[in-house]
Chains A and B, each alone.
Chain A
Amino acid sequence: MSEGLLLEVENLHAYIGSPRGVVKAVDGVSFTLGRGEALGIVGESGSGKSVMARAVMGLMPPRSGRTGTLRFDGRDLLGLGRKQLEQIWGTQIAMVFQDPGRSLSPVVRVERQLTEGMRRHLGVSKSEASSRALRLLNEVGVPDPERRLRAYPHELSGGMRQRVMIAVALACEPELLIADEPTTALDVTIQRQVLDLLRRIQRERRMSLMLISHDLHVVAGQTDRVAVMYAGRMAETGASRTVFDHPRHRYSNALLAATPSIEHVRHASLNVIPGALPSPTDPPEGCRFAARCTAATVECTTTQPPMAPIGIDHEVACFHPVHEKEGELVGR
């Protein structure tokens, strides 16, 4: 599966200026992504998962800053200027967003949105780009692709737009595709089609995939490894099935227990995570989850727990991880 590392992220901080102070959206995150690997990033609102993805892409808003190490294919991304970044976008790293309606241009036909990048970055002829565009639409399962090339985005359904968005992202054959909540706006049967598509393409192209979602259920079955984020920090990483079946961080465990699965006991009380996220501008010392954690001790409120191995390809940042058996008690 993985033939060496493609992306290495070390102690990444991404801060954004706001009227209420500096939002520490990503506050010391480290992880790696192998070539051909699918990594899921899971977290609720305010976890920093989307800002982290944008920080990797270099798509930060004004009045923001990044520190740490971002190495892509051995190259330092943080030191790159706008020109160099533009050469990387599309050809090395591409991104798919939640709302394809807003990321596709409404006044440009599908064909030109697909061929523009190819003409610029790959230097292919107009007719070659057109035939590639047709092949791409076929690959992402758009029916009647010849006709769809001539269409404007608003003439397509939400699911079709997301397929086109994925085709645009694939046009210059990136090595890494970052998909940020790509199915959140879609109906469940269409969500499934798009997830099936991403999985197939990732395997066929041996591309690396970063799949970001608020829902661990969505991500766990589609990825090799997952990383659970909470309040700008990494809580747990590991093989997807391991983290899903035996979450060891108190937050991951509580999150899964709070999600009613289709096997949940009817009318049974759901496990609740009391309290709310800590302030993003003035986060507490120690573990960010401590104030909401049932197992927190004094140590948790004073010292930040480091990421530490807890099993094979499984790391957790918690002083009091869930015991393996205890994890099975949650209501699912």
Chain B
Amino acid sequence: MSSLAGSGSAHLRGDAAILSVEDLEVEYHTAAGAFKAVAGVSFDLLPGETLGIVGESGCGKSTTGRAVLRLDPIAGGTVRYRDDSIDTASPRRLRELRRDMQMIFQDPVSSLNPRRSVKDVVTEGLAIDGRSKKERDERAPAVLEQVGLPSERFAGMLPRQLSGGQAQRVAIGRALALQPGLLICDEPVSALDVSVQAQILNLLEDLKKKYELTIVFIAHDLGVVRSFSDNVLVMYLGKTCEFGDAVEVYDRPAHPYTRGLLDSVPRPDAEGGFEGPALTGDLPSPLNPPSGCRFRARCPIAQDRCATEEPVMREIRPGQYAACHFPLD
């Protein structure tokens, strides 16, 4: 596989970005062979922006988020955060950088150390940063307070005593205790009931404003992503399909996959409960992706060219980019 086989980077915005990912590749090795879970993905964020990354299983969205922090090894491409190159940073520098780049995960309870009290969990980062026990004890109540957990009640509890929503609040508190510049949220609300999900989304929205956070928000729920994101990146089988302002992309998708994804969102007002036709077929295996455009096997408008030539990201409308030979109007 050529390392040039990315999906293009015409949508990047240069030095103004705080995080810039270019032609990112991540390889997984399985019994059935090695494959690229992320096969040339580019995106960037300006300070204070929220980028939503959407896509289905195997699209590489979670792997992309992990690779930004180098939690998964980067096999190709570059990741720049402020003035540092993440892909080449020394282990020591990487540890320093990760204080400023924090992550929260889907399953809040298992992401917390089960033997530590809530107070210790939220100040974990401060301990690693070398702050004294005294300072940590002083900071803990404020950290818990800002995520809506009264310290008197919660500080001494263990993670398993918390509900899913409370545990996710602890995880958010832990991530924000070091006042990071970048927060990567990987499906932060998908394990939660709707009523709890709304509480967590509101909390994240408030904290984002308060701390001017830059956020990468990875989720499969299209409604959640649109309500929370400035820009959106649509991924399919390790590649980028579309990038642009979330409202514009949702209102007028240029990539047929984005269209199909949006038409899969239940619309109780529409006849049959959906708008537009369904996408046919199954998600192909990332072990053996189709040639050319990876979406072509399910694409309702694919032509011969799509099988031979891989489309790259290009500007379809001002600020809206898609990797498609035959973009939608």
Contact = CB atoms under 8 A, between A and B. Distances in A.
Contacts of B301: none
A215 B194 CA distance: 8
A78 interface: no
A151 to B, nearest CB: 14
B227 A221 contact: no
Interface in A194-250: 195-196, 199, 214-218, 220-222, 240-241, 244-245
A160 interface: yes
B4 to A, nearest CB: 29
Interface residues of B, number: 44
Contact of B250 (A218, A241, A262): A262
A217 B279 contact: no
B198 A266 contact: no
A221 B273 contact: yes
Contact of B264 (A189, A221, A271): A189
A227 B305 CA distance: 50
B34 interface: no
B195 A264 contact: no
Contacts of B205: 267, 269
A107 interface: no
A270 B282 contact: no
A242 to B, nearest CB: 11
B265 interface: yes
Contacts of B261: 188-189
A44 B195 contact: yes
Interface stretch (B9-17, B90-98, B120-128, B218-226): B218-226
The residue in A45, A187, A193, A216 that gathers the most chain B C-beta atoms within 10 A of its C-beta is A187
Contact of B223 (A222, A262, A267, A271): A262
A192 interface: yes
B88 interface: no
Interface string A255-271: 10011111011111111
CB-based closest 10 A-B pairs: A221-B273, A220-B268, A273-B195, A260-B227, A187-B56, A258-B198, A270-B198, A192-B264, A221-B268, A44-B193
